[in-house]
Structure 1
Amino acid sequence: MINVSTSDGVGIIELNRPERRNALDIATCRELVDAAATVRADGARAVVVAGSGPAFCSGADFGEVYGEDFLDALYTALHAVADLPMPVVAAVTGPAIGAGLQLALACDLRVAAPEAVFGLPTARLGLAVDPWTIERLVQIAGGGTARSLLLACATVDAPTAHARGLADTLGDRAAAQAVAADIATMAPLTLTYNKRSANAFGRGGHTGDGVVAALQEEFAACWRSEDIVEGRTARAEKRAPVFRGR
């Protein structure tokens, strides 16, 4: 149901249920958790989440969506993706609806192909998404877009998503992989620190003293790292740096 690989520092997590338009069921959610652990163990420095066939992820599999076991599996999977320490890029090459939009939001960046469409039609179905999803949607796309998706059950096409910040870049799966490949050449410690800081400070009123202290230590570690020496040396030698994450 999920294909996983890592090459040249880029991990690929591909939903592979094209006959169900890559809808998420309990088994797929659990495989998604395992896939996140695999790319991390394989040393990926950036990850692409994609869908096989014409859909990114059409949402939840309605054969299972109404049970508590599905909710537990879904949110465990979403947080497994969101909590990866390296940047995660969603290659949205078709519909990202409901749980599919949630999966795209769990990623750090979204590359939208011309055929991409985003939607969160929970109010048409009597369903609901958790506050974390809504907070993340507001943080990424703004309150206006969030209200349009949540209250009017609007759908957003790729150009509109790009204009409103829901998509960072327009392009196909190859474009998403190119973004990830470029990220994989960057300093891992800095990227991890940047990601954690952006996630922490994007949450209004949620950043306690302990979180700030931990981020301050990561900031200091970046300045003590071998990678900062490599960056300075490479600049002086007019070559591309080779960062090792230490």
Structure 2
Amino acid sequence: MITASRHGAVALVEIDRQDRRNALDTEHCHALTAALDGAVDDGARAVVLTGAGTAFCAGADLDGVHSPEFLTALYDTLRTVTELGVPVLAAVNGPAIGAGTQLALAADLRVVGPTARFGLPTAQLGLAVDPWTLRRLALVAGGGAARRVVLACEQVTAEQVPALADRLGDLEVAMAWAAQVAVLAPMTLAYSKRVLNQVLEPDLALGAHAVEHEAAFRACFASADFAEGRAARTEKRAPVFRGR
């Protein structure tokens, strides 16, 4: 489930599926989006997003990741995080893999604990992440680290890639920082967040290669390799990808 609680001007939104390492499925993406919107509607001036237990978010629930409904729900959630009218701090308390890394990247600030690690193992599964995710990863972590994560499928820590952590610490550190942010001028924060997003990450749909990138992204999900990745997981074997 997704839980939300208020702590003064700060809303704490928590993914609580500990039996699935807080992996997301379509239902929980919808619930997370609703919780984030609801926190702002309720007057929160900063939001802390975290995972219950020892994981931040272990990624997509692979039982449903192959459905178009899940992709739509996930990207709606990521868009909500980036466009929310208040700062969002991710308290990355443990593994943030796949969709977990995407959520952490979507946040405005990241407070990272000692057991946290980040990864996008799409090439191990025959999946893909959208161009926005790749761009955001490169902007936050740097181009070299982005290539390690997506081309070599490495999992990295904040110690290895310091740029992934705006601060080191646990949920208590994140909540304290959010409380400091929450007393700042909300209109100024909303304006600054919006402009930073527009200046640093202009709409990819306006880019010269946007159509090509989108087509390549969709082609990954229509490929034989995508089907092979799904079959290999079901059959509990290593996939054999053939590039088609």
Using the size of structure 1 for normalisation, the TM-score is 0.81
Tell me the CA shift for residue 10 of structure 1.
0.3
Unaligned residue ranges in structure 1 (runs of 5+): 209-246
Check whether the contact 1:56–1:100 (CA below 8 A) recurs between aligned residues. Answer: yes
Tell me the CA shift for residue 194 of structure 1.
1.1
Aligned to 1:150: 150
Tell me the CA shift for residue 6 of structure 1.
2.0
- Aligned residue identity for 1:31: A
Unaligned residue ranges in structure 2 (runs of 5+): 207-244
Aligned to 1:183: 181
CA RMSD of aligned residues (A): 1.5
Matches for 1:55-134 after TM superposition, within 5 Å: 55-134=55-134
Check whether the contact 2:48–2:90 (CA below 8 A) recurs between aligned residues. Answer: yes
User: In the TM superposition, what whole-angstrom CA distance separates every residue of 1:37-86 from its partner, at most 9, and x where no partner exists?
Assistant: 11011111110000001000000001000111110111111111111011
Tell me the CA shift for residue 203 of structure 1.
2.2
- The alignment covers a number of residue pairs equal to 206
Check whether the contact 2:101–2:120 (CA below 8 A) recurs between aligned residues. Answer: yes
Tell me the CA shift for residue 204 of structure 1.
5.9
Give me the whole-angstrom Cα distance separating, in 2, the residues matched to 1:64 and 1:205: 28
Using the size of structure 2 for normalisation, the TM-score is 0.81
Aligned to 2:34: 34
Check whether the contact 2:132–2:204 (CA below 8 A) recurs between aligned residues. Answer: no
Aligned to 1:17: 17
Larger radius of gyration: 1
Check whether the contact 1:201–1:207 (CA below 8 A) recurs between aligned residues. Answer: no
Give me the whole-angstrom Cα distance separating, in 1, the residues matched to 2:204 and 2:50: 31
- Aligned residue identity for 1:169: R
Secondary structure of the structure 1 residue equivalent to 2:135: helix
Check whether the contact 2:22–2:57 (CA below 8 A) recurs between aligned residues. Answer: yes
User: In the TM superposition, what whole-angstrom CA distance separates every residue of 1:192-211 from its partner, at most 9, and x where no partner exists?
Assistant: 11111111111268699xxx
Secondary structure of the structure 2 residue equivalent to 1:158: coil
Secondary structure of the structure 2 residue equivalent to 1:160: coil
% identity of equivalent residues: 53
Check whether the contact 1:26–1:74 (CA below 8 A) recurs between aligned residues. Answer: yes
